[in-house]
Amino acid sequence: MRNHEKKPVIRTVGLTRHYTRNKQTIEAGRGLDLEIAPGELVAFLGPNGAGKSTTLRMLTTLIAPTAGTAEVAGYDVTRDRAAVRRSIGYVGQGNAAGHQYRGRDELFSQARAHGLSRRDARSRTDELLDAFDLTEHADRPVSRLSGGQRRRLDVAIGLVQEPAILFLDEPSTGLDPQNRVNLQEQVRRLNAKLGTTIVLTTHYLEEADALAGRVIVIDHGRTIADDTAAALKSSLGDLVSLEFGSAAHAMAGAAGADRIPGAHVTVTDTVVSVRAPFGRDAAPGLVADLAAAGTPVTRLEVVGPTLDDVFLNLTGRSLRESNETASAVDAADIAGDQNEGAAA
Amino acid sequence: MTIEITQVRDAAPAASVRRTAVAASPVGIVADIGNVFARELMPVLRNPASVLFAMVQPLVFLALFAPLLPETPTGSALQWFVPGIVSMTALMSASFTGANLSEEIVSGSFERLLVSPVRRSALLIGKSLREMVPLVLQTLVIVLAVAPFAFDVHVVGIVGGIVVLVPFSVGLGALSLALAVAAKDQAWVFWTVQQTAIFPLLLLAGVLLPLDGAPGWLQTAADLNPLRYIVDAERALFAGDYPMDTIAAGLAGSVIVGVLGLWIGVRAMNRAS
């Protein structure tokens, strides 16, 4: 949940990133203003190419902002990169462990890079291998691990120094549903038990919905919504469908439904559709009232809004469609971004 | 009818619940370089056979090329040829090193290192210093392989030869890493540039054939090639001669490549994203 009393651990002001592709300026981030409090679990949600990863790469010092500033753990991401890097854990889209290496060696080397003594690095390595159920795979080359095992190793490497802030870029892309659920469970526990601030990007609605206390919807490099998943959805309201025995009953039902605060009522023959905030809470009372009034409901259906409905409502586009059409653009996007990085 | 009542179970203990107090502390640049170097050696330590496999190549070259060498009036052709092969092996091995980095860029482990607290300069230097290991091992294998034939082993000369090659190997390794960083995930760019660069360097160093009878323009081009002076120095050292001007020229060529390579490499690494 959002907590404005605590000093934010991440604060951006007008954070902007441009890059040039085919002599055109692409804006991957456009004046992002953001505050994230300690202990928050935040998801950046948006279609491919919306600017989520670019934002994450700026916050983790991988690329420099074109304009604006960002502070992570109290350090400026351009002026004090070293301090930012010491303060954060990062799980990128690729594998953190080199494919020619062994998981145990990679954990150990990451621990040493963070300044742990040899002894501490060894015990921390064992601990993480155990916690992520990787002990029996620790001495095999990473190239021979399964996708799920590699992803667990990536997260373990990101946690070596027990960072106060953990960034995860598309953590569950490419994982099967079971591994995805496992990973989400790990992330949730980490946030709950250690109070680690977690920022992740995803284009899976279900993931943002299931995982994050706070969802920041990003589209075309801009924040278009920022709230809890529940609040985003409840602002849109549930869809309550009521079916009646006759069109006359339906008209009476529609009149009753219209008394629900914020309701938007449509009648089609014998079916009344009500879109209303907290519609699911109002539905039982409505059904009882209508039965008492002699116009009983014969069939009831309540559908909660999905984040896809939210995205559709905000942008006029479905997130799923945007992901499909954006994937071609995205490939060029990444190439352009990297060319820029090399030239910068 | 049965009614099943389910309760929300408390989750099992969190991953990475603290047992070791994680005492992260600032790391000095020397320790940073040491950590990167130690990591670089891991695949070799875990799988020593991989190094032996890489050493087959110069031996094949010796076995198939040395018999073609004409007898020279001044002494054994092998004595002339082996120092060139040692230099060539150093050139090949160091220029290939960026390929490992390309692989790390594609798989993602390089990105993790970029976000870690390791200094970028240490990342480059630690990886480049790794080149010393194959240089020493490969030189020893080549010398052992030719020792039974018409080849005099001068231990001091061989050690001197390795010392002269170290800055060259490290600098060329750094250039190869810089190339891999610039090529990003487009591995073909790396291979095209690497292949285009090494053969002129090799041929203009007189490794395979002497440059004595070369036309003027070729001589001029060879004079600009630092590897040429290194190869001359290697030949003198391996023969047990110690002409100071030749050795100094070789060492100077090697150090120039070393310094230039590290400078370009660190610059490239600082910009890597």
Interface contact flag, B108 A92, Cβ < 8 Å = yes
SS3 at position A235: helix
How many whole angstroms from its chain centre is CA A138?
30
Task: Name the residue among B19, B43, B116 with its Cβ closest to that of A101.
Answer: B43
Which among B20, B116, B271 has CB closest to A344?
A: B271
Domains of chain A: which residue ranges?
10-232+313-343, 238-303
In the prediction, which pLDDT does B174 show?
96
In this prediction, residue A157 has a pLDDT band, given cuts at 50, 70 and 90, of: very high
User: So where are chain B's domains?
Assistant: 29-271
- pLDDT over threshold 90, residue A173: no
- Matching CATH topology for A10-232+313-343 and A238-303? no
Lowest mean pLDDT: which of A108-112, B123-127, B209-213?
A: B209-213
- Give residue B19's pLDDT: 54
In this prediction, residue B118 carries a pLDDT of 94
Cβ separation A109–B35 shorter than 8 A: yes
For the residues B59-85, what does the mean pLDDT come to? 81
Cβ neighbours of residue A91 under 8 Å, at least 6 residues apart? A154, A155, A157, A158, A166, A167, A168, A169, A171
Average pLDDT over residues B98-118: 93
Those of residues 2-21 in B touching chain A at CB distance below 8 A are: 11, 13-20
Q: Mean pLDDT over residues A158-170, rounded? A: 92
**Among 3.30.70, 3.40.30, 3.40.50, 1.10.150, what is the CATH number of A238-303?**
3.30.70
Residues within 8 A of A (CB atoms), B 165-184 only: 181-182, 184
Pairwise CB contact (< 8 Å): A194 & B26: no
Task: Return the residue in A57, A87, A124, A183 with the most chain B beta carbons within 10 A, the one to mutate for interface testing.
Answer: A124
Q: Report, as an integer, the average pLDDT of A93-103.
A: 93
Residues of B in contact with A145 (CB under 8 A): none
Distance from CA of B229 to the nearest CA of A (A): 34
**Contact between chains at A194 and B17 (C-beta distance less than 8 A):** yes
Q: What is the DSSP letter of A67?
A: E
Distance CA A68, CA A31 (A): 7
| Nearest CB neighbour to A132, from listed B15, B35, B185 | B15
The amino acid at residue B70 is: P
When comparing pLDDT for A102 and B185, which is higher? A102
Closest CB to A186: pick one of B15, B23, B118.
Answer: B15
**Could you report the predicted ipTM of this complex, rounded to two decimals?**
0.84
- Is the predicted pLDDT of residue B116 greater than 70, yes or no? yes
Read off the pLDDT of residues B121-156 as tens digits, 9 standing for 90 and up: 999 999 999 989 889 988 998 898 888 887 888 899
DSSP string of A264-290, one letter each residue: EEEEETTEEEEEETTHHHHHHHHHHHH
pLDDT band at A62 (very low <50, low <70, confident <90, very high): very high
pLDDT > 90? residue A145: yes
Inspect the interface and report whether the beta carbons of B39 and A116 lie closer than 8 Å: no
Distance from C-alpha of A133 to C-alpha of A142, rounded to nearest angstrom: 15
More confident residue, B242 or B273: B242
pLDDT at B9: 43
Handedness of CA B227, B230, B236, B237 (dihedral sign): negative
Please report the pLDDT score of residue B178 as a whole number: 96
Question: Amino acid identity, residue B222?
Answer: A
A201-236 pLDDT per residue, tens: 988 777 888 888 899 988 888 888 898 888 887 777
Going by pLDDT thresholds of 50, 70 and 90, the confidence category of residue B5 is low
What pLDDT score was predicted for residue B3?
58
- Which of the residue ranges A27-31, A147-151, A276-280, B261-265 would you say has the lowest mean pLDDT? A27-31
What DSSP line would sit under B220-235, residue for residue?
HHHHT-HHHHHHHHHH
User: Which residues are CB-neighbours of A343 under 8 A, at least 6 positions away?
Assistant: none
Chain position carrying tokens 């064992």: A126
Quick one: DSSP state of residue B11?
P
Q: Mean pLDDT, to the nearest integer, of A278-293?
A: 89
Would an 8 Å CB–CB cutoff place B27 in contact with chain A? yes
* DSSP reduced 3-state for A109: helix
Q: How confident is the model at residue A109 (pLDDT cuts 50, 70, 90)?
A: very high
Tell me how many degrees the CA angle B23-B28-B31 measures, rounded to the nearest 5.
90
Chain A residues touching B42 at Cβ < 8 A = 101-102, 105, 109
CATH no. for A10-232+313-343: 3.40.50.300
Mean pLDDT, residues A174-194: 86
CA separation for the pair B194, B187 (Å, rounded): 11
The token pair at A280 is: 């699911």
Q: What is the pLDDT of residue A338?
A: 43
Listed in sequence order, the DSSP H helices in chain B are 29-46, 49-54, 56-65, 77-107, 109-115, 120-129, 132-146, 155-183, 187-203, 216-223, 226-238, 244-271
Q: How many CB pairs under 8 A join A and B?
A: 154
Segment A138-166 shows an average pLDDT of 92
* Chain A nearest CA to B117, separation (Å): 5
The pLDDT assigned to B181 comes to 95
**Does the model's pTM come out above 0.90?**
no
Q: Tell me the pLDDT tens digit for each residue of A234-274.
A: 777 888 999 999 989 999 999 988 888 888 888 988 999 98
pLDDT the model gives residue A331: 41
Structure tokens at A91: 């799980």
